[in-house]
Amino acid sequence: MGTNDRELIARCISQVDDAAWEDFVRAYSRLIWSAIHKTVRSCSASCTPADAEDIYSTIFLSLVEKDFRKLRQFAGRNECSLSTWLTVVSVNHTIDHLRREKNRTHPKIEDLPEACAAVPDHRWDMESILMLKQEAEVLSRALAELPDEDRRIYELLAHQDHTPEQAAASLGISVPAFYTRKHRVIEKLKKIVSGL
């Protein structure tokens, strides 16, 4: 866990600094929002803006309720970054929301207009949802095994949505060198995942 992550979490938990939580939300809002939408797309589910807002709010609420109990659980074990941990938390919350939606009472097929009844609904394919959750857990374990430098490359692309040019500039290397390192990171991840 980086020093900045530790400091930000400590500021939030202490509740002495009123701006700490606002800083936390500002720092990770985009990452969480992106994780929600990527998960919904991966599950081929539909999600209204109101549903997405509900998931988003629920994730942040889960981090602060009961005196920041969930946020206190983050320990940065196995060099897991706060960004990676929050992504897994967001994926799990989104999947839980999709499961609850699947279990909601929906109109019986005979009560639907004929045009609707003829179209099969594959949005709530439970097998896809479970597979996505397992993939998130495997990826989290695989990332924990990468060296810090490799994990940084992954986070710049996956969590911070940097372009290759931005990521190369952030790392202080050329774009071709970045592509070489990116390829190596992908190969390492594949090797780790295949051994899990």
Q: Is the Cβ–Cβ distance between 137 and 88 less than 8 Å? A: yes
The three-point CA angle 68-31-84 to 5° equals 70
In this structure, the answer to whether residues 41 and 19 fall within a common structural domain is: yes
What pLDDT does residue 113 have? 44
Domain boundaries, position 156: 146-196
Query: How many separate domains does the chain show?
Result: 2
In this structure, the answer to whether residues 195 and 111 fall within a common structural domain is: no
For the stretch 118-132, pLDDT in tens is 344 444 445 555 566
Sequential pLDDT tens for the chain (196 residues): 455 778 888 888 887 777 888 888 888 889 898 888 888 888 777 777 888 888 888 898 888 888 888 888 876 665 677 888 888 888 888 888 887 776 554 444 344 344 433 344 444 445 555 566 667 777 778 888 888 888 888 877 776 667 778 888 888 888 888 888 888 888 888 888 777 6
Please report where in the chains the tokens 């609904």 appear, as a residue: 121
Q: How many CB atoms lie within 10 A of CB 25?
A: 13
In this structure, the answer to whether residues 24 and 51 fall within a common structural domain is: yes
d(CA 195, CA 140): 14
In this structure, the answer to whether residues 130 and 39 fall within a common structural domain is: yes
